[in-house]
Amino acid sequence: MCGIVAAAAGSNIVPVLVEGLKKLEYRGYDSAGLAVVGATGIERVRSVGRVAELEAAAAGTSAPTGIAHTRWATHGVPCERNAHPHVSGGIAVVHNGIIENYESLRRELTDLGYEFTSDTDTETIAHLVEHLLRAEPDLFRAVQLACRRLVGAYAIAVIDQRQPGKVVVSREGSPLLLGLGDTGSYAASDASALLQVTRNMVYLENGDIAELTAAGVRIERRDGKPVERPVHVSELSAAAVELGQYRHYMQKEIFEQPEALANTLEIVGGAKSIQPGIFGAEAANLLHDVDQVLILACGTSAHSGMTARYWLEAIAGVSCTVEIASEYRYRTSVPDPRQLVVAISQSGETADTLAALRHAKSLGQHKTLAICNVPESAIVRESALRFITRAGPEIGVASTKAFTTQLAALFLLTLVMAKVRDRLSEAEEAAYIDQLRHLPVAVNKVLTLESEIEAWARRFADKHHALFLGRGRHYPIALEGALKLKEISYIHAEAYPAGELKHGPLALVDAQMPVISVAPNDELLEKLKSNLQEVRARGGELYVFADADAEIPSTEGVHMLRLPEHYGQLSPILHVIPLQLLSYHAALVKGTDVDKPRNLAKSVTVE
Ligand code: M6R
């Protein structure tokens, strides 16, 4: 999704802007641009494509104040004309998010004589600020007035050629934070863009407006009240976002899973028992009378929720519903104040998940828990309880280590809920904890299958469709495998609970259709084997991920890989890994942009 970097410092900030944009590339974008207050006024450089092209185009540009942007198209096609910054008179604006009332603003500004040169909603902000500056010459005040007219979600940064040395920023709904450096002040969509200059970060709240100068920052609310925000020292490791020995971030992140899981599970330590307190000081109090769980999430995070549903119902005996956040937020639902609302999100900024959480709270559902990878994110800040997965920064658009660490967190939640509800003996709890502790080692063993999976992936070079099958708690894993394959290799993939085959999808199966099956030796294996026979009988080519104990013969048309260990309830965490590797290598064979697949963004901060 779009990214913003802004700087006001004592020396040339163009390298800081470009480096910051590079760090935000992972969010997904199609064009980039920057504007500075130069000796002759606003100097703007924009380009379609990669930040490296913008960097080359901006080689001669130098100034102490500027704003920069990576754009992920919402209003208007990706092209230079629509790329940010947008200018009006002497001001330039970059913007993330969506201005919902831009059409009426555009009509109003057109009537006032402003000419629009782009198809974007952002250009209305540029003209609006320019118009307001005629009566209110102070940029800070003019932006404050403009923000009172904007409806929607946004983060903006504005410069004015008549007020060099100053950047004004504001946020409502879209993330934006400030960086306090020794010789300058900065703003960006996320902390990774600013680690190059400072670790001292200030997280703006919705409705905050800040002025950045080389000397420091000041913040006011939209209604003009001054406000202080705490300074956080970021613990994000700059090295964590380097590619190192890997070809792609996705590959790096797949291989980081043992460490990510170990870090996430460190909270369990050497204990034989887990306390509710791992979800926050209030957890014991809040969880004791929970009668149902409602999980809200999008994409991969929704798949982790769907997996957890099997655990929560089977082990903790608590009924669980999983809803896609974008559906729940607009649906008339029946609120239950004793329901635990669990918002799952890697980024913690996904607009639909955040809105769904707020919607649940507005219905009086105050038992809320965030399972999230970004501690300072909005979803965490707005939830009563939290569990921070310690996956480290996930850069590849395709979520991998965030998913498996979410599953680990959700399994811990299952154990806590089971204990609170008196459904778990000490011996069972200790056995599950031992299994969790062994998980990083078990994942490492699965990763050794990479070369065999790579060989399988070569057979996908000419495929246009694929079918994924799973049953029970492995059905969401089949869904996740299909999502991974389609988003990075662009092979159309569908996932079905294997029992559904003969109710429709079997009609698609022929010799051209690879059918990938998740087949551990669980209570549903015999049922699954019959479903696989149905595929073979129609000539479908089977790719089966079984495990050490699963008795499935490898025959003609049945390719078989065995995961080294059978892992019982926790088996979904192991079985998703070969599917991640399969889609990664299929994407390499297809030659797609693995880390930045077309049309997708890492962090979906707009609806
Ligand atoms: O940051 P979140 O976990 O809230 O993101 C949700 C989805 O946008 C995300 O999981 C998406 O589906 C991934 N690209 C899947 O790999």
Residue whose entry in the numeric block shows the structure tokens 């609806």: 607
Token output for 48: 């379609």
| pLDDT tens per residue, range 207-253 | 999 999 999 999 999 999 999 999 988 877 766 666 767 899 999 99
Query: What pLDDT score was predicted for residue 476?
Result: 98
Query: What pLDDT score was predicted for residue 206?
Result: 85
| pLDDT tens per residue, range 257-308 | 988 898 898 888 777 889 999 999 999 999 999 999 999 999 999 999 999 9
Indicate if 454 and 500 belong to the same structural domain.
yes
In short, whether 326's Cβ falls inside 6 Å of ligand 1 is no
Q: 525-533 contacts: CB < 8 A, separation 24 or more?
A: 525/550, 525/551, 525/552, 527/471, 527/498, 527/499, 528/469, 528/471, 528/498, 531/469, 531/471, 531/498, 531/499, 531/501, 532/469, 532/498, 532/558
Tell me if 209 is assigned to some domain.
Answer: yes
Atom 7 of ligand 1, residue of closest alpha carbon:
299
Domain boundary among 220, 241, 262: 241
Give the domain range for residue 72.
3-241
Tell me if 595 is assigned to some domain.
Answer: no
Domain boundary among 185, 213, 241: 241
Indicate if 147 and 115 belong to the same structural domain.
yes
Indicate if 577 and 514 belong to the same structural domain.
yes
| pLDDT tens per residue, range 520-560 | 888 888 888 888 888 888 888 899 999 877 777 777 778 88
2 among known catalytic residues: yes
- Average pLDDT rounded to a whole number, residues 67-76: 85
DSSP secondary structure letter of residue 173: B
Active-site option among 2, 298, 320, 372: 2
Whether the predicted pLDDT of 50 surpasses 90:
no
Is the distance from CB of 209 to CB of 170 less than 8 angstroms?
Answer: yes
In short, whether 405's Cβ falls inside 6 Å of ligand 1 is no
- CATH number of the CATH domain containing 429: 3.40.50.10490
Query: What pLDDT score was predicted for residue 259?
Result: 85
Distances in whole angstroms, Cα of residue 553 to Cα of each of 137, 533, 542, 549, 560: 78, 12, 12, 12, 8
In total, how many domains does the chain have?
A: 3
Domain boundary among 184, 214, 241: 241
Token output for 230: 């705490």
Tell me if 600 is assigned to some domain.
Answer: no
Indicate if 41 and 186 belong to the same structural domain.
yes
Indicate if 188 and 79 belong to the same structural domain.
yes
Do you find a cis peptide bond into 85, omega within 30 degrees of 0?
Answer: yes
Ligand 1 pocket test, pick from 303, 480, 604 with the greatest ligand atom count within 8 Å of Cβ, gives 604
Query: What pLDDT score was predicted for residue 297?
Result: 98
d(CA 420, CA 440): 27
Sheet arrangement for strand 65-71: 41-48, 31-38, 65-71, 3-9, 184-188, 177-180, 200-203, 231-233
Indicate if 199 and 278 belong to the same structural domain.
no
Count other Cβ atoms within 10 Å, centred on residue 99: 25
In short, whether 389's Cβ falls inside 6 Å of ligand 1 is no
Q: Which atom of ligand 1 is nearest to the CA of 603?
A: 1
508 phi and psi, to 5 degrees? Answer: -85, -15
Indicate if 235 and 355 belong to the same structural domain.
no
Average of per-residue pLDDT values in the chain = 92
Whether the predicted pLDDT of 600 surpasses 90:
no
- Average pLDDT rounded to a whole number, residues 405-428: 96
In short, whether 192's Cβ falls inside 6 Å of ligand 1 is no
Q: State the virtual CA torsion across 395, 399, 401, 405 in degrees, nearest 10.
A: 120
Query: What pLDDT score was predicted for residue 93?
Result: 98
- Average pLDDT rounded to a whole number, residues 112-116: 96
Token output for 227: 């406000």
